[in-house]
Amino acid sequence: MKTCIKGGLVINPSTKMEEIADILIEDGVITAIGNVDEEGMNVIHAEGKWVVPGLIDLHVHLREPGFEHKETIETGCNAAAKGGVTTMCCMPNTNPVIDNECVVEYINTMAKRANGVKVLPVGAITKGLEGESLANIGKMKEHGICAISEDGKTVADAGLMKKGMSYAKPFDLPIFSHTEDRNLSGGAMNAGVNAQIFGIKGIGRDAEEVIVARDIILARTTGAKLHLSHMSTKGSIDLIEMGKKVWGMNNLTAETAPHYFILDDSILGDYDANKKMSPPLRTSEDVEAMKRALKEGIIDVIATDHAPHHYDEKNVELEKAPFGIVGLETSFALSYTHLVRTGILTPLELIEKMSYKPAQIINHPAGRLEVGAPADIAIIEVDTPYVIDSSTFVSKGKNTPFNGMEVYGDVEVTLVDGKIVYQK
């Protein structure tokens, strides 16, 4: 069966295309972009809407195996499809940890039973995320991991981290680095004036920046592909800029998440645990720096760090609540509203950071609308405002600080390999 996506505004960073065109899909692959005679075909009308390569989210917690009360692979895939996400990388802080090929295969199997959204497991750097000895990275790579990460933690031992990087390099596996020195963290929000006013123990920016600096240095020595996860501070941006511009590193990339370019720590005054995540919301100065870094390409990728938690786990004192907020169902709208409608990024730049660049980092064939590419596509309505309502999320996690916020950008159809996985 042939499918034609008719008359949408095609936005494709890989060819810098931004024009009204039809897309022809045959057997899950894009076979033409331009003027398509849709007679006898299955037609999806996209007039007045954006047609973009499906979003690729490098940073998601699917919680399965082990924490199925927070999210399952199935519910996470449904949330992804609703958010226009067609591929996502799932982090290894599950139980058991993704540190061997059996857990990788378990995830592959469960993902096949879900809606079709592509799930790429991220393997742990060390066994059990315990920071003692390396996990079997080569075996996990054979079974399909797309990266290694200790997410939720940092590999504290610099020697072991260096060994992990050296080991990952011949497999061309990127290292997704959670940058937090535990000897410097330990609070519940950003350290600073607001933490003092609210009487909450703070987490300094230095806890992040010390490890950002360390890992950039180690990536420079080893030549491994380093991708810095969830960047939150101006100092981190300065360090990345140094690595890229002064040291000329082309093996260094970095990501941030919508909350770090929209929200700051002044909103923690209500002690709402849905505003608590790791790293924490920083100051307005950091938010401004993040927007500049996105504009200038110092930050390459927007990911969600989708971190669902159960209502009961979050509905406690701020200090006791777990870190993390959900993001799959709001990331496009928040990014489009706060970066494109404000004139910081062009539509092409936004889609580059949410699809094309992430694909390049993990050597994924999608992330582009070109003849021969997989038909992983999102169709998005961008002109009608609406209010985020967490009670409508299909994710099991409703823990978002954005509930009640007005945004633009509503995903109407998501296709994976030419198959509709979500339709509004």
The 10 Å CB-count burial string (b at 16+, else e) for 301-313 is bbbbbbbbbbeeb
| Residues in CB range of 68: below 8 A, 6 or more apart | none
Catalytic position from the list 305, 376, 410, 417: 305
- Residue 185's binding partner among Zn ion, ligand NCD, none (Cβ under 5 to 8 angstroms by kind) is none
Based on the shown chain and the rule CB under 6 A, indicate whether residue 313 belongs to the binding site for ligand NCD: no
Query: Is 104 within 8 Å of 145 (Cβ atoms)?
Result: yes
Q: Is 259 annotated as a binding residue?
A: no
Based on the shown chain and the rule CB under 6 A, indicate whether residue 179 belongs to the binding site for ligand NCD: no
Based on the shown chain and the rule CB under 6 A, indicate whether residue 335 belongs to the binding site for ligand NCD: no
CA distance 367 to 212: 27
Q: Is 305 annotated as a binding residue?
A: yes
Based on the shown chain and the rule CB under 6 A, indicate whether residue 209 belongs to the binding site for ligand NCD: no
CA distance 344 to 14: 20
CB of 25 to ligand NCD, least distance (A): 35
Q: Is 364 annotated as a binding residue?
A: no
| Crossing angle of helices 234-241 and 284-296, rounded to 10° | 30
Q: Is 61 annotated as a binding residue?
A: yes
Q: Which amino acid is located at 130 in the chain?
A: E
Based on the shown chain and the rule CB under 6 A, indicate whether residue 118 belongs to the binding site for ligand NCD: no
- 305 has catalytic annotation: yes
Beta carbon nearer to Zn ion, 64 or 151: 151
The correct pick among 171, 198, 271, 323 for binding ligand NCD (CB under 6 A) is 323
Kindly state the DSSP code that residue 380 receives in the 8-state scheme.
E
**146: part of which helix (H) or strand (E)?**
none
The tokens describing 18, both together, are: 């931004």
Query: Taking CB under 5 A as the criterion, which residues in 150-169 touch Zn ion?
Result: 151
Q: Is 324 annotated as a binding residue?
A: yes
Residues 44-83, mask of contacts with ligand NCD (x by CB under 6 A): -----------------x----------------------
The tokens describing 147, both together, are: 């990266």
Based on the shown chain and the rule CB under 6 A, indicate whether residue 278 belongs to the binding site for ligand NCD: yes
| Residues in CB range of 58: below 8 A, 6 or more apart | 88, 89, 147, 176, 227, 255, 301, 303, 358, 361, 362
Which residue numbers belong to the known binding site?
Answer: 59, 61-63, 93, 151, 178, 230, 305, 309, 323-324
Q: Which residues bind ligand NCD (CB under 6 A)?
A: 61, 93, 151-152, 178, 277-278, 305, 307, 323-324
Annotated catalytic sites, by residue? 305
